[in-house]
Structure 1
Amino acid sequence: MSPPSAVEVEAVDDTTGVTIPDPFSLPIKANEIHGRRRKTDKSQWMLAAPAYSSSFKSNSSLKSKPKAKRWDHRLTLESHSRKFNSIKQAARFLGKPGIISLGGGLPSAEYFPFEDLSMTVPSIGAFSEHETAESGVVIRAGKHDLREEKSIADISTLFNYGQAMGSAQLLRWITEHTELVHAPPYADWSCNMSIGSTSALEMAFRMFCERGDYIISEEYTFASAVETAKPLGINVVGIKMDAQGLLPEDLDTVLREWNPAERGAKKPFVLYTVPTGQNPTGATQGGQRRRAIYRVCQKHDLYILEDEPYYFLQMQPYTGANQPDVPPPKNHEEFLKALVPSYLRLDVDGRVMRMDSFSKVVAPGTRVGWITASEQITERYRMHADTSTQGPNGVSQLILFKLLDEHWGHSGYLDWLIHIRLEYTKRRDVILDACEKYLPRDVVSWQPPMAGMFHWLRIAYEKHPHYPQKSIPEIEEEIFMESIEQGALVMRGSWFYAQNDVEHDTLFFRATYAAAPFEQIQEGIRRFGDAVRISFGLELESREANGTNGNKA
C-alpha cells in the first residue's frame, strides 16, 4: 500500500466530500509512538555510535516549522573556542560493515565482569512497593543481546565508552517523550543527555557567561545554582516574586533601568528559572505568567535556562480540608492537558534551553538527565561535555532503557507519572493539614503548593516581641536553632537568597513533604510550630489534645 498523501478527500455523498488530514501531521499519542517510529539502520545502536534527535523525531516535526534564532552573539569565547573531539568523531565509522577497529581505546566487553543484569520493576498500573513485591516484572539485560538480536541495547554496548549525547537507544526515547509532552514549535530542536541539571547548568553558564557578567533569577532561588555561578565569576540579580513566582513587570523594570556604569557590568541576557514547584518557594508559574515572562525575554533578547526537575510533580488542585477531591485525569490526554505549558512549548524563537531530569520521578542516583535546545546550542553543549563529563552513566542508561522503552513504553511511563502526581498530592495535603493544626496562624502563613516537594512558610517577624531590637537574621537563627532543639529540621529561607549582599525584609522557612512518612510530616510540623511559639512567646499547643507524645527525634 502506498503511503497516504498530504491531503486526501473521502466522499460523503455523490456531490460532497470531506478532507482527511495526513495522519502523520496529527498530534502524536503515547500509544502510537512505537508504530510511528522512523526506520533506523542497525548501525545506530552499535558501540559508541553518535546519535541525534533529528533521527528520531516523527514526520510531523520535520514539516514547515521555522528554524531557531542563532545565538553566536551570546556565546562565550570559551564556547566559540571548543572543537569536536576528533577521537569520538572517528567512532561514527565503527558501524561500517566489516570494519576492523584498531583505533579507539574501547575495552573489550570480554573483560567486563557482568554477564547479565536483572531487576524487578512495577507492572503498569501496579506501581506501589507492595504491588511490585507481589506482582513485579523481572526484566533482564544480557551482555550480548544486541549481537544475538534479543534487544537493541546490552551490557557490552552501554557499559562501554559512549558519546556525549548519550546512547542512541535512550536518546530515541527521550526525543519521542519531548515531542509528545512539549511539541517544540520550531524545527531544529534537539535533545542531548546530561549527568543531571546542575552539571548542565554549569556548562550553560560557561557557554553564555563571561567572568563579571550577571544572570537573572528569582529573588529566592536554587542555592546550588548560585553556588555554581559564583566560582565562575558570575553574579546573580534577583527578581521579585509573588505566589506564582517571578514577576514579569519587575523583570522588565530591572532590564529597562539597567545602568552598566553603576552595576559595573553589561545588561544581563540569561534568565535562570525553575518555573514549576520552584525550589525553594514551591511557586508555579501559570501559563499566562510564562507567556508574559517570555514576551519580556523577547523584548530584551534574553536566553532562558528552564530548570524543570519538578515538572511532573504537578499535583491535583488543593480544595482544602474536608472538601471533596478533584477527580484525577481519566486518560493520558487529560493528564498532559492539565500540565502547565513549558517554556519549551512556548519557544517560537529557540531561546530556551530546557533541563530535564529523572532525579525526581525515577531516581536521583541514576545521574541521567537531558537538555533540549536548538541544534546550535546542543552542538555547543556536546563540545563542552566531550572533554568533561564525557557522557551519562552507561549502567543507568541501560536500566532506564529497559524500564522506559522495552517495559513501560511511553504509555506506561505516563501512567507512572499520573501515579506520582497522586502520591505527591497526598503528601502535599498531609503537610497542609499539619500546618492548619499546629502552626500559629497569626504569625505563620503559606500558599498551598501546586507542584514540587517544598512548602514555603512566611514568618511575620514584625510581630516578634523583640523586633526590631532583634534583626530578621537573628530571629531566623533563633527559630531555626529552637526547631533543632525541638527535633525538627527545616531550611532557612536566607540560604536561598539570589543576592546575599542585598537587605531582605522577609523571613521564610522551607519544609519538604517528599520523603518522610505521613505521621513524621505531621509531627515535624508540630515541633516546628512549638519552636515558633517559643520564639514569639506564645502559649504551646496541648500535645495530649493533639494525640502526640512529645518525644523528640
Structure 2
Amino acid sequence: MAPPSAIEVSAVTDISGVTIPDPLTAPVQSNDVYGRRRKADKSQWGVAAPADSVNFRHKSYEHKPKAKRWDHIISHEALIRKGNSLKKAAKYLGKPGIISLGGGLPSSEYFPFQELCLKVPQIGHFSEKEAQDTGIVITAGKHDFAQEKSIFDIATAFNYGQGSGSAQLLRWITEHTEMVHDIPYQDWRCTMSIGSTSALDMSLRMFTRPGDMILSEGYTFAVAVETATPLGVRIAGIPMDAEGLLPEAMDHILSTWDVSARGSRKPHLLYTVPTGQNPTGATQSKERRLAIYKVCQKHNVYILEDEPYYFLQMQPYTGTESEAESALQKTSHADLLQSLVPSLLSMDTDGRVMRLDSFSKVLSPGSRVGWVTASQQIVTMYQKHADVSTQGPAGMSQLILWKLLDEHWGHEGYLDWLGYIRREYTQRRNVILRACEKYLPREVVSWVAPMAGMFHWLRIHFRAHPSYPTLSIQDIEESIFLRVIDHGALVMRGSWFYANDQDEHDTLFFRATYAAAPAEKIEEGIRRFGVALREEFGIEG
C-alpha cells in the first residue's frame, strides 16, 4: 500500500493524529510526515546509493547551535580510518546513461529471488489471531523500482549497500527520530546499525583505548561488560536506586577520581540504559536524566544512550485489577509520545549523546536492524567503520522493514503498533507482579514494580538465610539458583550483571523476565520460585 501524498487531518480513531494548522511551522505529527517529504532524485534510491539523513529531516535546524567536537576523546583507530574508497564511486551510478564497469556489484539477474511476500497485520488489528485471520499480504518484486511500482525492490535491496543503510529505510528512521525526540542542536544525523550490541562495540572502539575505564550502572547489561573487556576497557559501576544510576554518586566518583588507585585515566564515557534498564528494570525520570546530563557536562563526559526498551514504558502498577485495566486504554499518538519520559537525546544541547535504537524489542530481534543518532562528526566516523566491517544491515531485513513501516503502516501505523505492544507488556508486567504478591515470601524477597521494559528485579534478603554468614553471598546465590532450577524454573543470577566484579557487593538479586512465557507460565514459574525460596530459607507454608 503506497503512502498518501499528504494527510491534513487524521481519521477519528482511538489512536489518532491532529489537524495541522500550519504545515510549514507546526511540529511534525505522525499522520503528516509523508506530505512534508522533499521530492527526491530517482538516483537516490538506486543500488548502493549514498544517503545522508540530513536530506530527510522535515524541520529547519539552522537556528539551533552546532554540536561540540569530540576530537579529544576519539581513538587513534577511528581517527586514521578512511572508510571504503571503492564505495565512494557509488554516487556516480545514478548518472543517467552511465555504463558501470567499476564496482563489483553483481547483476540482479543472478539473484534467485523473484518475489518476496509477507503476511502482516492491518493497522489496529495486531494480535496474532487477528493477523492470521485478517492480515494482508504485501509483496516486493525483483524489479519494482525499474517498473516504477515502488522505490525499493529486490534488485536494489539484495545487492551491496552503504554502511549508512539504504536511503529508503534511512528516510523513515530519520523521520521517526525527528518526530519522537525533537533534537535541540543543528548537525545531528542518523545512520543504521546491525543492532545495538554491534553499535556499542563500534562506539567503544571509537571512544576508548586499552586501559580506559568507562562509567555505567552498578548492575549493567552483561554483554556490555563482555564487549568492553577484550578491548582492555573496564567499567566503573555507579550506585543505583529505584530510578537507576545516582547522579550525585557519579559526580563523586568523577570528582575524586584517583588515577593511581584506579589504574586508569578519568572516564570520559558513560554507558547507560535509561529506560527499563537491563537487568534492574529501573527507569530514569526526566529530572534524573537532566541531573545525569548536567554531571556529564560538568566533567565533559560523552554519553552512550542505549534505549531498546524506550517504547515499552508503562503506567504505574496499582495492584487493583480495575485500575490496571483502565490504564491500558488506547490513546492518541500525541498522548502516547507525551507520556514517554524525554530521552537524553532530546535534552542534548551539546551533541554529547550517541543514542542507540533498535527494532529488536519492538518488532523482531532477528531483523538485526537498528540505528545510531549523534552529531555529524560522530556519525561520519561510525559510517566509515561500518563500511569496512559490518557494512549496512542485511538488505533483506531492510526491505522487509521498509515494506511494513513505510509502504504499509506508515508512521501512524507504527505508533499504533507501539501503543499495542506497550499495552501487551503492561499486562504481562501486571501478571508477574500479581504472581509475586501471591507466591513469594515477603520476609526474604522484595521488589520495585518496573515502569518499563521486560525485566523484574528481585532483591533477596540473604542475611535471613539460616547458613549466613557461614555461607557467603555468592554461595547463597548459587544455592538458590540451583534449587530454583530443581523446581523447574529459571531466573538469572544478579552477579552475572555486575559492572565490575572486583567491586565489593553486599546485595543479592535475581532477574526474572515477563517477555517470553504466556501468562499462566509466568505465574507458575513464580510459584516455583517461591517454593524454592521457602525451602532455601526454611520458611513454613
Please indicate the TM-score interval, normalised by the length of the shorter structure: over 0.9
Deviates more, 1:531-540 or 1:268-277: 531-540
Paired residue type of 2:43: S
Q: What whole-Å deviation, never above 9, does each CA across 1:422-457 have from its counterpart, x for those lacking one? A: 000000000001000000001100000000000000
Which stretch of structure 1 is more off in the superposition, 315-324 or 111-120?
315-324
Once the two structures are overlaid, the 10-residue window that deviates more, 261-270 or 164-173, is 261-270
Give the structure 1 partner of residue 228 of structure 2: 229
User: Does residue 304 of structure 1 match 2:303?
Assistant: yes
Asked if the contact 1:316/1:421 (under 8 Å) is kept, the reply is no
Q: Which residue of 2 aligns with 1:119?
A: 118
Deviations 1:146-196 (A, max 9, x none): 000000000000000000000000000000000000111111100000000
Residue deviations 1:499-520, cap 9 Å, x none? 1111200000000000101100
Residue in 2 that maps onto 1:451 = 452
Which amino acid counterpart does residue 365 of structure 1 have in structure 2? G
1:441 aligned onto 2:438: no
Quick one: distance in 1 between partners of 2:279 and 2:320?
24
- Residues 322 and 121 from structure 1, CA distance in 2 versus in 1: closer, same or farther, beyond 3 angstroms? closer
Cα displacement string for residues 23-65 of structure 1 (whole angstroms, at most 9, x for unaligned residues): 422211000000001111110000000001111000x233311
Letter in 2 for 1:102: L
**Per-residue deviation at 1:22?**
5.9
- The corresponding residue for 1:352 is 353
Residue pair 1:431, 1:521 contacting (<8 A) in 2 also = yes
Q: What is aligned with 1:550?
A: none
1:393 shift after superposition: 0.7
Q: CA deviation at 1:330?
A: 2.1
Confirm whether residue 467 of structure 1 aligns to residue 446 of structure 2. no
- Residue 267 of structure 2 aligns with which residue? 268
User: Counterpart of 1:68 in 2: which secondary structure?
Assistant: coil
Identify the residue that residue 496 of structure 2 maps to in structure 1: 495
Q: 2: distance between equivalents of 1:181 and 1:163?
A: 25
Flag as ranges the 4+ runs of structure 1 deviating above 4 A. Answer: none
**Number of the residue aligned with 1:39:** 39
When normalised by structure 1's length, the TM-score is: 0.93
Q: Is the 8 A contact 1:185 1:346 kept in 2?
A: yes
* CA offsets 1:506-543 (integer angstroms, 9 cap, x no match): 00000000010110000000101111111101124xxx
Quick check: 1:68–1:348 contact (8 Å CA) kept in 2?
yes
Once residues 161 and 88 of structure 1 are traced to their aligned partners in structure 2, the CA distance between those partners, rounded to angstroms, is 10
Q: Distance in 1 between matches of 2:22 and 2:515?
A: 44
1:414 paired to 2:415:
yes
Is 1:428–1:513's contact at 8 Å kept on the other side of the alignment? yes
Pairing of 1:182-201 with structure 2 (within 5 A): 182-201=181-200
CA distance in structure 2 between the partners assigned to 1:527 and 1:378 by the alignment: 48
Matched residues, percent identical?
Answer: 67
Please tell me whether the aligned partners of residues 316 and 328 of structure 1 are also in contact (alpha carbons under 8 angstroms): no
* AA of the residue aligned to 1:397: Q
Q: One-letter code of the match for 2:500?
A: Q
Q: Look up the equivalent residue of 2:271 and give its one-letter code.
A: Y
Secondary structure in structure 2 of the residue aligned to 1:138: strand
Q: 2:246 — aligned with what? A: 247
Aligned-partner residue type, residue 52 of structure 1 = D
Partner of residue 370, structure 1: 371
Does the CA-based 8 Å contact 1:191-1:373 persist in structure 2?
A: yes
Q: Which amino acid letter does the alignment assign opposite residue 319 of structure 2?
A: G
Q: Which residue of 2 aligns with 1:4?
A: none
CA distance, structure 1, for counterparts of residue 227 and residue 394 of structure 2: 22
Report the counterpart of residue 255 of structure 2 in structure 1. Answer: 256
Aligned letter for 2:278? N
1:514 and 2:512 equivalent?
Answer: no
Letter of the 1:81 partner, please give it: I
> How many angstroms does 1:267 deviate by?
0.3
In structure 1, C-alpha distance between the alignment counterparts of 2:102 and 2:74, rounded to whole Å: 33
Separation in 1, partners of 2:445, 2:21: 56
Q: What is the identity, as a one-letter code, of the residue corresponding to 1:39?
A: K
1:324 alignment partner, SS class: helix
Match of 2:10 in 1: none
Between the two proteins, the alignment pairs up a number of residues equal to 520
Asked if 2 retains the 8 angstrom alpha-carbon contact of 1:456 and 1:510, the reply is: yes
1:21 shift after superposition: 9.0
- Tell whether 2:200 aligns with 1:164: no
Is the CA contact (8 Å cut-off) linking 1:321 and 1:433 kept in structure 2?
no
Deviation digits for residues 236-265 of structure 1, max 9, x if unmatched? 000000000000000000000001122121
Say whether the 8 Å CA contact 2:83–2:388 is kept in structure 1. no
Is 1:279 the counterpart of 2:286? The answer is no
Matched, 1:97 2:96: yes
Q: Which has the larger radius of gyration?
A: 1
The CA deviation string for residues 104-159 of structure 1, in whole angstroms up to 9 with x for no partner, is: 00011000000000010000000001001111011000000000000000000000
Give the structure 2 partner of residue 388 of structure 1.
389
CA contact (8 A) 1:82 1:383 kept: yes
> Structure 1 CA distance, aligned partners of 2:345 and 2:162?
25
Report the RMSD for the aligned CA atoms in angstroms. Answer: 1.1
Deviation per residue, 1:200-238 (Å, 9 max, x gap): 000000000000000000000000000000000001000
Aligned residues of 2:444 and 2:461 also touching (Cα < 8 A): yes
Alignment-mate amino acid for residue 220 of structure 2 = T
Amino acid at match of 1:54: V
Question: What letter is aligned with 2:355?
Answer: R
**Secondary structure in 1 aligned to 2:200?**
helix
Q: Is the 8 A contact 2:56 2:174 kept in 1?
A: yes
Output the CA distance in 2 between the equivalents of 1:402 and 1:21.
30
Report if aligned partners of 2:281, 2:455 keep a CA contact under 8 Å in 1: yes
Query: Following the alignment from structure 2 to structure 1, what is the Cα–Cα distance between the partners of residues 371 and 329?
Result: 28
Post-superposition Cα deviations, 1:475-522, rounded to whole Å, max 9, x if no partner, equal 000100000000000000000000111120000000000010110000
- The answer as to whether partners of 1:443 and 1:461 remain within 8 angstroms in 2 is yes
Gaps of 5+ in 1: 1-19, 541-553
The amino acid that maps onto 1:213 is D
Structure with more relative contact order (C-alpha pairs < 8 Å, separation 6 or more): 2
Contact preservation (8 Å) 1:316, 1:422: no
Letter aligned with residue 531 of structure 1 = A
* CA distance in structure 1 between the partners assigned to 2:141 and 2:386 by the alignment: 29
- Structure 2 distance, partners of 1:96, 1:189, is 28
Cα distance in structure 2, aligned partners of 1:334 and 1:206:
39
Residue 342, structure 1, aligned to residue 343, structure 2 = yes
User: Distance in 1 between the 2:244 and 2:498 partners?
Assistant: 14
Equivalent AA in structure 2 for residue 71 of structure 1: W
Please report how far the alpha carbon of residue 323 of structure 1 lies from its aligned counterpart in structure 2 after TM superposition.
4.8
* Matched residue type, 1:86: S
Aligned to 1:208: 207
The within-5 A match list for 1:58-97 is 58=58, 60-97=59-96
Distance, in Å, in 1 between the alignment partners of 2:60 and 2:241 is: 36
Q: How many Å separate the matches in 2 of 1:205 and 1:144?
A: 40
In structure 2, the gaps of 5 or more residues are 1-19
User: Do the aligned partners of 1:273 and 1:306 also contact (CA within 8 Å) in 2?
Assistant: yes
